[in-house]
Structure 1
Amino acid sequence: MKYGIAPALAAALAVAGLHGSANAAQPPAAAALDETVPELIHRARVPAVAVARIEDGGVAWTRVYGERSPGSAATEDTVFNVASLTKPVFAMLAVRLAAEGRLDLDADLSSFWVDPDIAADPRRHALTPRIALSHQTGFQNWRGGGKLEFAFAPGARHEYSGEGYEYLRRALEHATGQPMAALMETSVLAPAGMQASSFGWDGRWEGRLATGHDESAEPLDTAQARSRRANAAANMFSTVGDYGRFVAWVVEGAGLPRDLFADMQRPQAAHDDPVERFGLGWKLLRADGAETLWHDGREPGVRSFVLARPAARDGLVILSNGSNGELPMRAIIEAAVPDGAGWLRARDAEMWRYLRSVSGPRLEQLLQMVSRSPSFMAALLHAADTALVQGSPLDPQDRRAAAAAIEPFALGMLDGTVTAADAARLCALLLDPAGEGDRALRTAFDEGQARAWLAALRGGGTAAAAADGGLRTTVEVPERILREYAGNYLVPSNSLLISIAVSDGRLVATAEGTPATEFHPASPTRFFMRESATDFEFVRGENGQVSGIRIIWDGNRSEFAARVR
């Protein structure tokens, strides 16, 4: 059954949104959220959202709206999976150990521990805590069922990597002889005053866990949460108040020496002209003349966000239990953070700068994935609006109209008035037609392009129908190479056997209970399905023979399917 929040219940939750505060006079920002958030989460199909505002180095107020699970109201005691918001908390462990002289941030981690997969690779000696905390290890985000390997030399560029954090966790556990949970309790949780957080599942959370919901607001199975173990990059559970106390502790300096605290907030790039800015455990954004620490978290049924501004001694935490959780976040940030709109514009500009660095098949794959997600689509549209539309020759009224049309377009993807094809065609308007061989995003809109964009947004994408909707290009692959890929491959997560054959010069895959699907070549080794945002990369072993397929979902999650004879 579809999950929804009835208007009457939404109104009641607006009144009941103030939990745990004795102040009769509500803070203006909190009162504004009480008026708007219940309707926002109803429209976005997000069951629950929890907010903590940090001011003057302390938790000023919290709000919790909606239901933690169907029929059960979310409260101050509701525990959320915070996903990648685990990373800043784990990073504080490493930084605190450095402050105590127990860890050198620039030490060779191989002196503590080496993953067997890279034991013969000399690049392992370049791995340091600093490199890991700033996402420069060269590892992919997750290895899945495959081997850990370097995609590039450590320090050569940034590439977001949970594997890098897990590598550091294992090294710290070997170096100290203590498990992560014990280290975190002593160095982070206790000093920050956190009593309602855990790394991995804790039986205390039975009956308090916020159930994740998909984009259709259908509840997801909670059994997986109970199997979670301590992980440096994910698997932290916390209440919004407890995570708010962590942010308050951070903006007050976390008990660190002044120079180390400043180092944590500095860009750590070991390479020139980085398109992403990472400090130690945090994403960085320069706004209003000061460095902002922030992070977000995404998993199926989970969206989370944290903002920390040490210079202002303030911050914000937003936790949710829905895959559409990012949709109401923008309005919450604008309402709860002084000049939140300006901060968001700065983030939009940074996002566009990163997207401009992606080109060719990788960009086309990224846009294809974005066009299927209302949350990702909204983020892309805001970035494009800031970078292309607001500086275009459109008159101010039309520029405002273009910005105002973004939310209805994204919400239309939820109710079916905007299709994935509509979104794909709108994405195609962003592509520079001059870059056919190595497609890239536009650097500017002229007036005609800006008007086409506005018309497409207002019309649910139909005005963009004339645009090229083919976001991914294909290449020719000789049939002799295709025949090397023919065979059977076993997917370990569900024991699914995929059979691949060559038919009329095309690669065709079949699996039990599914129709034949064509694999379209993006390169001689990488293929994609037009039916979903899934790629298949053929992997060769040391003998040069095809040993398996790396299956890649949504551009980041992957699993290795070995070839079986």
Structure 2
Amino acid sequence: MNTVKSYIIALAIILTVSVFGQENSTLIKVPNGNTISSKALNEYIEKTMDSLELPGLSIAIVNDDKIAYHNTFGVKNLKTKDPVTKRTIFEGASLSKPLFAYFLMKMAEKGQIDLDQPIYPYLEPIFQEGTVEDTSLDYYKILTPRIILSHGTGIPNWVKGEPIKIAFKPGTDFSYSGEAYQHLGAAFSLKLGIDWGSKLDALFIKEAALPIGMDRTLYTWDSKYESSVANGHIKGQVNPNINRFKKVGPGFSLHSNAEDYAMFLIEMMNPKNITKATRDEMLKEHNHFREDNTLLKETGQTGWGLGFAQKPTSNGLMHLHTGNNQDFQAYTMFIPEQNYGFVMFTNSDNLFPFLEKLEDLLGEHF
């Protein structure tokens, strides 16, 4: 009897250890066909973060419409040493853009906006003389959501209060522009008759974020996140100021984390809240780069869809976007053919050297 009891206890211990080991050694598929254990990835990330003095990180990987890996590392603030947790949120910088594009595509499905109608009629009631140079005004008046989302406006990235000068006829070339996204957000709000602060953000959360499981993502500030937001860092120095945006900045103001944004990547690969046709329209190339385009020469990216850049790879067509608010940086990519997605947020100015090191382990991601 004692022998049987001992055997059962021993077997239970073996099974418990086995299950525990499996839970802590998840295998993650990467685009080149390799697999890596979550334990090995954790160890590599910790070592690399230490070598680069990266303060904090939120990272997630999607395999086959599920979050196969999600973890956080480091601290929210180098002075306080408060740890980054899975509830910590970061500035998403330009990762704001593809998510806002998704929101607008959802609104287009509902007939709330036409991608090919100029936005100027909605802005005209508040349009101020001097916003656009006189020589560019005719071009400005033909800007549409489709042209803006695919960065075909000819408007500089940011004009910083200067009159807008449009470099080419909209829709004929590429010019990355956060400024243009801001005008699109304002125009959409005016069309709906709401302010482009909390009311527009509430609509985004209701129509886009919550239906796909993003419950810690927003464009305007909510005081309930005061204790869980990370501080930014530049060259190892803490920025004590938290950006508490009162207006939706479609080009820059997103707060989110890797787990939430991974839900967006899952939606882009297997849409549930928009139709497949709408998703396909987002991922279709709307702006093909010319041969002398700097991004084409330096990165191999070939064009832009409605929200994401595109790059052909040996593993399939990669859709990607970078984010850089200086003291916060972020990056995301996904390859639909592989059902693979990747996203990371950091509270510092040295994410991209970290990404380069991470590619040594995971293969091409940028």
For normalisation by structure 2, the TM-score amounts to: 0.80
Q: Distance in 1 between matches of 2:95 and 2:259?
A: 14
Q: Residues 68 and 153 from structure 1, CA distance in 2 versus in 1: closer, same or farther, beyond 3 angstroms?
A: same
Match of 1:46 in 2: 54
Post-superposition Cα deviations, 1:432-458, rounded to whole Å, max 9, x if no partner, equal: xxxxxxxxxxxxxxxxxxxxxxxxxxx
Unaligned runs of 5+ in 1: 1-20, 345-565
Match of 1:153 in 2: 169
Post-superposition Cα deviations, 1:21-58, rounded to whole Å, max 9, x if no partner, equal: 99243333422221111121122121011110111112
Please state how far the C-alpha of 1:144 moved relative to its aligned partner: 0.8
Whether 1:206 and 2:226 are equivalent positions in the alignment is: yes
Match of 1:162 in 2: 178
Q: Residues 245 and 81 from structure 1, CA distance in 2 versus in 1: closer, same or farther, beyond 3 angstroms?
A: same
Q: Residues 258 and 30 from structure 1, CA distance in 2 versus in 1: closer, same or farther, beyond 3 angstroms?
A: same
The structure whose Rg is larger is 1
Aligned match of 2:211 in 191, 199, 206?
191
SS of corresponding position for 1:199? coil
Alpha-carbon contact 2:133-2:165 (below 8 Å) kept: no
Match of 2:340 in 1: 314
Q: Residues 104 and 22 from structure 1, CA distance in 2 versus in 1: closer, same or farther, beyond 3 angstroms?
A: farther
The letter of the residue matching 2:39 is A
Q: Distance in 2 between matches of 1:158 and 1:57?
A: 32
The letter of the residue matching 1:296 is T
Match of 1:476 in 2: none
Aligned match of 1:285 in 306, 311, 327?
311
For normalisation by structure 1, the TM-score amounts to: 0.53
Please state how far the C-alpha of 1:162 moved relative to its aligned partner: 0.5
Taking the TM superposition and a 5 Å limit, the aligned residue runs for 1:67-106 are 67-70=75-78, 71-106=81-116
The letter of the residue matching 1:68 is K
Measured on the aligned residues, the alpha-carbon RMSD in Å equals 2.3
Alpha-carbon contact 2:288-2:304 (below 8 Å) kept: no
| Identity, % of aligned positions | 24
SS of corresponding position for 1:135? coil
Aligned match of 1:304 in 316, 330, 346?
330
Match of 1:525 in 2: none
Please state how far the C-alpha of 1:254 moved relative to its aligned partner: 4.8
Post-superposition Cα deviations, 1:373-419, rounded to whole Å, max 9, x if no partner, equal: xxxxxxxxxxxxxxxxxxxxxxxxxxxxxxxxxxxxxxxxxxxxxxx
Q: Distance in 2 between matches of 1:266 and 1:46?
A: 35
Alpha-carbon contact 1:282-1:295 (below 8 Å) kept: yes
Taking the TM superposition and a 5 Å limit, the aligned residue runs for 1:526-541 are none
SS of corresponding position for 2:73? strand
Q: Residues 45 and 270 from structure 1, CA distance in 2 versus in 1: closer, same or farther, beyond 3 angstroms?
A: closer
Taking the TM superposition and a 5 Å limit, the aligned residue runs for 1:96-175 are 96-114=106-124, 115-116=127-128, 117-118=131-132, 121-175=137-191
Pick 1 or 2: higher relative contact order, CA cutoff 8 A, min separation 6: 2
Please state how far the C-alpha of 1:326 moved relative to its aligned partner: 1.3
Aligned match of 2:237 in 198, 218, 238?
218
Match of 1:265 in 2: 283
Match of 1:61 in 2: 69
SS of corresponding position for 2:95? helix
Please state how far the C-alpha of 1:145 moved relative to its aligned partner: 2.5
Alpha-carbon contact 2:24-2:39 (below 8 Å) kept: no
The letter of the residue matching 2:87 is D
Q: Distance in 2 between matches of 1:247 and 1:309?
A: 10
SS of corresponding position for 1:152? coil
Q: Distance in 2 between matches of 1:243 and 1:257?
A: 19
Q: How many residues align?
A: 318
Unaligned runs of 5+ in 2: 1-20, 28-35, 294-301
Alpha-carbon contact 1:155-1:271 (below 8 Å) kept: no
Q: Distance in 1 between matches of 2:292 and 2:212?
A: 32
Whether 1:35 and 2:43 are equivalent positions in the alignment is: yes
Q: Residues 274 and 265 from structure 1, CA distance in 2 versus in 1: closer, same or farther, beyond 3 angstroms?
A: farther
Alpha-carbon contact 1:318-1:329 (below 8 Å) kept: no
The letter of the residue matching 1:56 is D
Q: Distance in 2 between matches of 1:248 and 1:274?
A: 34
The letter of the residue matching 1:118 is V
